[in-house]
Amino acid sequence: MGRVILDRQTSFSSGHRYWDPALSDAENRALYGRWASQFNHGHNYVLRAAVAGEVDYKTGMVVNIKDIDAILIERIRVRFDQKSINDEVPELAGKTPCLENLLAHFADVLTELPAGAELTSLKLEETPLLYGEWHKETDMTTLTRIYEFAASHRLHSDALSAAENEELFSKCWNPEGHGHNYLLEVTVSGRPDERTGMITSIDDLDKRVHELVVDRYDHKNLNRDVPELVGKVPTSEVVSEEIFAQLDGNLPAQLERVRLHETARSSFEVVR
């Protein structure tokens, strides 16, 4: 049989600041955007660690969850919870306490695990609208930013008869349309900046995603108001593909994934 993956969560509250004392105020603000400050701000971080291994059939476990919890507490929570990362975590002194640098540090401190278990990936959420991921297989770190827009659509295909449309799309074929509060996840990768450790400026990413998609789609009728969707059936599959096409090659980092949540129960993903 193949390996089994155990995913375990921990959390911690930490303060940090984006500010290099060797730079001027203007240089810091150019580097870190609206987050530049000499003073700390805080986050309730959520970390998920995925651990893989063979099942020991004497215990029925890959690794004892108690052992993983003890490691997460000892190596991460105790050292980060209620601490200022810039000032109280020696290993990160002089480094920007961004998601990318935190993930790299956590990957290092979680390399040695019991019972032959192996760390395979990490997901670190800084806010409900921003998280980073690290995957051992590719040694890739990605950033994901989440946006919201409200839009209406009607599911109708000119290639089908009225009866076929009604049978296929049911209430979504309503002639007056219907709406959703969409959540859009945009995931990017790239080479971290040598000074900041960041893949990209969140300010720059936000600006481009709003220009290219969010501001153009928000409070619009997708059938009529968005040129790339006119004449197409604006299912979330099609909308996801068009959003990927709009963003690909036009962001300050490489686009890796678009995930569109139409409702709390349905999401649609396009990956590179």
Can you give the pLDDT at residue 1?
A: 64
Q: Tens-of-pLDDT digits for all 272 residues of the chain? A: 678 999 999 999 999 999 999 999 999 999 898 999 999 999 999 999 999 999 988 899 999 999 999 999 999 999 999 999 999 999 999 999 999 999 999 999 999 898 889 999 999 999 999 999 999 999 999 999 999 999 999 999 999 999 999 999 999 999 999 999 999 999 999 999 988 999 999 999 999 999 999 999 999 999 999 999 999 999 999 999 999 999 999 999 999 999 999 999 999 999 99
Tell me the three state secondary structure of residue 161: coil
What tokens does 235 get? 């299912």
Cα gap 19→86, rounded to integer Å = 10
Tokens of 142: 């990605």
Whether the CB-CB separation of 179 and 219 falls below 8 Å is answered with no
Which residue in the block uniquely carries the two structure tokens 């593909």? 241
pLDDT at 13: 98
Give the model's pLDDT for residue 115. Answer: 81
CA distance 254 to 265: 28
Q: Is 14 helix (H, G, I), strand (E, B) or coil?
A: strand
pTM score: 0.93
Domains of the chain: 4-129 (3.30.479.10), 143-271 (3.30.479.10)
Tokens of 189: 């990768």
Structure tokens at 140: 């890739």
Catalytic site positions: 172, 219, 262
